[in-house]
Each structure stands twice: as C-alpha cells, then as structure tokens.
Structure 1
Amino acid sequence: MGSLFSYRTISESGSSSCFCASYSLLYIIVSLLTLSFFNFITAQSSHCRTSCGNIPIHYPFGIDDGCGSLYYRHILVCSDVDKLELRTPSGRYPVRSINYAESHIVVTDPFMWNCHDGDDFRPTRPFSLDTSTHFTLAPQNEYLFFNCSENDVIIEPKPSFCERFPDRCDSSCDSASYLCRHLPGCPPALGGRSSCCSYYPKATGSLRLMLQYCTSYTSVYWRTVGVAPPFDQIPEYGVRIDFDIPVTTRCLQCLDNSRGGGTCGFDVGSQSFLCLCEKGNVTTYCTDGVSGHKIRIGVIAGTTAVSVTGAIGVGAGIWYLRKVRAKAPVTCGVQSNENRLF
C-alpha cells in the first residue's frame, strides 16, 4: 500500500528509521499545536470590545466574559447585528444609551404602550430588575397606567387626595399628573376614551399588582438637558436604571496609564481580579506584570475552551513522545492500543 500505517513487518534498520520519522512528524505536530495555541490565547487576552454598535462599553461593563466588573457579568449582550441589550428577570431590553458620567442606563421596552398605539392598549409585562445586582430604578422614572379599575385602584388628583388622606398618599394613582395631560410626543389627550394616571411603584410587586387592574402602562423618564432651570429636564419614553461603579485600588492601578493602562477584568474560572494587558493578563498592573513575569494568559471568553483543548492536545503529544522514546524501536504499521496516534 505504501502508507505509513500499512506495513506489518519491518527490518531492524527500518524500525529505527521509522521511529525517527514518526518522532519527527509528531514533534512537528506538537510544536505547531503549541505555537498556535499560545498565539491564539495571547491575541484573545487583550480582546475586550469597547463598543456595541454606537454605544461605548467601558468599565464596569463588559460584553466579553472576563471583561469589566464581576458584578455585571452576563448583564449586557451584544447581538450579531451590533444591538446592545440588557438582561433582567423579566426579559431582554434594547439599550438606548449608557451615561458613565451620571452612572445610568436607558432602556426601552417594546411591550410598553407608546404613542403609535393610540387607544390600542395591548397587554404588557411588568419590568423588573434583579435585586442582587448593583442596579436600581432611577427616581427620574414615572409610570403611566391606562384604563385602571376604579374599584381596585385609587385614581384621584394627587394634591387633593394627599391633603385628605396623607397616610395613603403614596398608594394613589395621580389622574391629574402633568404627563397624563402632556404625553410626550403624543396628541394633547387620548380623546377622552381612556383614563390615565401616574404612579411610582415602590417595588416590582406593586407594579405587577397594578397591571392586574390596569389595561397597560408605559415608563417615562426625565432627561437632563443643558439649559437653565426649570426647563432643564424633558420627558422621554424609556426606563432609566442607575448603576454603581465598583472601584478598588487594584483596578485604579490597572487603569493608570503610567502603569501600563490596562483594562479591569476577572478570571472567568476563579472570578478573581485580573488586569487585562496587551501582552497578557496580570494580577496587579501591566508594567508590574511584564517586569515581574506574572503574566497569566487565556481568561477571556473564547479562550477557556481552547485552553483546555490545547492543553490536552499538547499534553497528550508530550506523553506519547515519552512513551515512544521509552519503547523504541516500534513497529510502525501495527495500530495497537500501545502505539496508535489517534
């Protein structure tokens, strides 16, 4: 047959040359695996995307696993079409903007009522946040509820109701609110065929309860603009979510340009802090890691699986080389459990 694995017998000198050929071939294979393995990991170690579409992604967030703060792991998702979404217990919501200076995210909910719906108040789902995360609903949000049951919900003008029942003021849905009378981007009113009231839920449970007695709802937040008060805020549809920025000494050192200007991240396995640098990942800051030989490679998403696979492949190759060397010469053509390559 003429192939490497076809001969059943071979001379003593042939065995020696065959062993050398096998050894050389396997050495080349292992060398190539090793080089490609480490080159791939080094390239991936600095792979933290800094944007999704037109939205910048900076600390404390990351869209690649191992980037940003561990507190916000798997929170933001960048789709194949560069659309950024926020994950919450109630679903995934398109992110309109991230303001790092004021530490808030604005998301939209396609299920909420909007001006285009008019009097078509379709059922919706209540928006919720995971209380274990470092997210909170901003006080700038206001929620407008439509066609609520007056038998189950207190619907009255808030000022007069609060004067009469101050202890129950927080439980009322204000039917005389400014936003109900001036729906952003909508006609002046809903035509008188539907009722509207404004209510700020204290918790997700109260929002869910309100939707049991109301047809639909929408969220409006007050966006700050660069003009003098009292016209420095305008209402827009969406949900504003405030977030915390965890700051540690190690992260500040990592970000310091005089120390290498790395990116704060974490080990996806141990979840311990890592400073992500161009030449690898270190536990302190980039220049310290380079000089102190503390570089750790392969913790960003996509490298963990490759690291395991590559390590197994390289390890198996080294084990086989040692086994072949210990038992040389071998009969090249006999594929037994002792000398098979694959």
Structure 2
Amino acid sequence: MNMIHHLSLITIILFHTAIFRLTSARVPLTACRSYCGNLTIDYPFALRQGCGHAGFRDLLFCVNGILLMHIPSGSYRVLDIDYAYHGITLHDPAMSDCYTLDRSPKGRGNGFVVEPWRAVYLQPDRDNIFMLLGCRSGSPLFQGFPNKHLPCRSNVSGMSCDDYYRCPAWDGAGIRSSAYGNSNPPECCAVEPAAVRSINISHLQCEGYSSAYSVAPLRPPGPGAWTYGLRLSFSLPENNEGFCGACRSTGGVCGHDQDTHDDICICGEWNSTSNCDSLGITATAHRTELSGFLANLAACGLFLGPCSCVARHACSAPPRAVRF
C-alpha cells in the first residue's frame, strides 16, 4: 500500500471515529427527569440547571422531599403537577379556607405574583376564584369604579363571596354583604385573575385572601365542597410545539441554553437546536473541536508524509518528501 493510500485510509478511519463519537452520544431521559417526594418533575419543569424550558427556570426546588415553587409573592408547596392538562396545584399556608380566616391588618401572604416575563408561561387557571378579604376603601380595587361593582364579581366559575360567607370560618363575624359603595367596601371581594394584573395582597391593601377552584364538570354544591388552593395553568410558546417530542424521539433530553435561554436538545456530549439526528450547524458542543480536527487531518493529507495524528489530532512529524 503506497503512502497516499495509507494516509487516506487513516483519514477516513479517524473521520468516521469522530462522527461516531458525536452521533452516538446519548443520555437517558432520566438525566433531566427527576422526583421530589411522590411528584415527578419533567419537562417543561426541572430541578437541574439547563433542563426543562427556560420559561420555568429557577422556579422549583426540592427541600427535604417537599417540592416548593418560588415566585416574587413567596414560596408555595406544590401539591400536584398535571402534565396531561397542563395544571399545577399550590398550597399557601397564609391563605384562608372554609374553616379558618387568616387575616391581619398588614396582610399575611401576598396572593399570587410572578415576574412579568414569566406570566406568559404561568398563570392562574380560569376556573380559579380569588376572594380578597378586608380590603380598605382606598384599595386600587375600588378606585375609579364608584358604585359600579365592577371589580368584585358576584359569581366566578360558579363560586361567589355570598357562598363563601356560609363557611364555618365566618361564624360570629357579624353582618356580611357583597354589596358596597366607594366608602363601604365588602368583607369579601371575588375577582377573576384576569380582572387585575396580579393578586398582590399588600398592593391591593387587603387583610388576606382565599382561593378555590373546581375542575369537575359539575360544580360543587357549596363552599364546604370547594377545593381550596391555587390552581395554575402552564403553557409553552407556539414555536416550541413539537420540539421536545422530536428531541426525545431521537434519544435526546429537552433542555435550554443557560446563556441564551434558547431550546436545546441534549444529546450526551453535544447539544442540538433541533434533535439528536441533526449534526453540523445544529451541534452546539464540540463544533470547534471537530472543525480543528478536520483542519489537522487536511494538513496531514496535504503534507503526504508519515505524520502521526495523535489523540489531540495534531501532526507530530514534520513534512518530508515521499518517494514513489
């Protein structure tokens, strides 16, 4: 075998070895899927940096087997994540329910407030009702709507403050009514999440709040049968549709770039902007290494000498003439 054929064979073998290394690198789906207590943490959520969708980064934390969601209004215990219906259920220990009123002059707890950039991904479910308690007459809820009853709804998803007043927590609290004037706010004001930008108890000058939801086809008969807590819905942008499925179908794990926050498909030792069957300009890791490797191989081929391409893919021997 002459020297040209020998070098060509070495080049082909090393090139295919490099390509095999890049295309065969795979990590199991469990690399980003995790658990906290009895809850599964999966896309678009994650506990590890770079996993999940960027819209849900730095959101969930597992502390002693308890899953917590941290947003500007506080930390909440996550009770359930429904991936099929894109729902997540939270518990706020500072929230009132049918058996306990948790109120203080300065308010305890802050309702539900997320960062403006995250609001497109995470928001209260449309079947969630917020009942604001003991809001002062100077509250932004009542300014600009004198005697029009616009902010406080009589019924939200089949639930209302008039129903809530029937709870045992209100026993002995005196006369209650949902009717109000600008100087006589009600004890309870029911609002839809869409009625205000955020349920910020301090900003709204309220003493507390309660939240209930119903996801059953039939509405519960009374406030004692309501489910108390925060029911949220999560969603992804339209341009993300199908990305994670395509990534997983090729053996990858769905994640995001920690610097640009763009979607990436984690494929073992390299990342792709589409899926693990894509190589070339979509490979975001080892691209520079592969380019340098090919350049060195080309140099070896041009020298037509017995250069030894070592592990660093560099030609260690100087070029010399070849006799045929």
- Please tell me the TM-score bracket, short chain as reference: 0.5 to 0.7
Cα pair 1:153 1:173 within 8 Å, conserved: no
Match of 1:53 among 37, 40, 45: 37
Match among 282, 300, 316 for residue 271 of structure 2 = 282
The SS at the match of 1:170 is coil
Q: Partner letter of residue 241 of structure 1?
A: L
Aligned position for 1:337: none
Q: Which moved more, 1:184-193 or 1:52-61?
A: 184-193
For 1:158-197, list aligned pairs within 5 A: 168-172=148-152, 174=154, 178-183=159-164, 186-187=167-168, 189-193=170-174, 195=176, 196-197=187-188
* Alignment deviations for residues 82-111 of structure 1 (CA, whole Å, 9 cap, x no partner): 211112111221111112222122112112
**Number of matched pairs:** 238
The answer for the alignment partner of 2:196 in structure 1 is: 203
| Residue 69 of structure 2, aligned match among 65, 74, 86 | 86
TM-score by length of 1: 0.55
Corresponding residue number in structure 2 for 1:264: 254
Q: Which runs of 5+ in 1 are unaligned?
A: 1-41, 156-161, 298-342
Higher relative contact order (CA 8 A, sep 6+): 1
CA drift of 1:121 comes to 2.5
Partner Cα distance (1:178, 1:269) in 2? 44
- Per the alignment, do residues 91 and 207 of structure 1 end up closer, same or farther by CA in structure 2, a change over 3 Å counting? closer
Q: For residues 285 and 273 of structure 1, what CA distance do their matches in structure 2 show? A: 10
- 1:11-160 matches, within 5 Å, as 47-79=31-63, 81-115=64-98, 117-118=100-101, 121-122=103-104, 123-126=107-110, 127-133=112-118, 134-149=121-136
The one-letter amino acid paired with 1:94 is R
User: Per the alignment, do residues 229 and 90 of structure 1 end up closer, same or farther by CA in structure 2, a change over 3 Å counting?
Assistant: closer
The whole-number CA distance in structure 1 between the counterparts of 2:141 and 2:53 is: 43
Larger-gyration structure (1/2): 1
User: For residues 136 and 293 of structure 1, what CA distance do their matches in structure 2 show?
Assistant: 33
> TM-score normalized by structure 2?
0.58
C-alpha distance 185-51 of structure 1, shift in aligned 2 (>3 A): farther
- Shift, 1:237, TM fit: 1.2
- Aligned position for 1:243: 234
CA distance in 1, matches of 2:134, 2:30: 53
In 1, distance between residues paired with 2:282 and 2:135?
66
Q: Quote how far apart the aligned CAs of 1:229 are.
A: 3.6
SS at match of 1:130: coil
Query: For the structure 1 residues 184 and 288, does the alpha-carbon distance in structure 2 shift closer, same or farther, using more than 3 Å as the test?
Result: farther
- Check conservation: 2:211, 2:229, Cα contact below 8 A: yes
Looking at secondary structure, tell me which structure has more helix per residue: 1
* Seq. identity, %: 25
Alpha-carbon distance, 1:128 to partner? 1.0
Structure 2 stretches of 5 or more lacking a match? 1-25, 177-186, 287-324
Deviations 1:127-147 (A, max 9, x none): 312221122222212122334
What is residue 330 of structure 1 aligned with on the other side? Answer: none
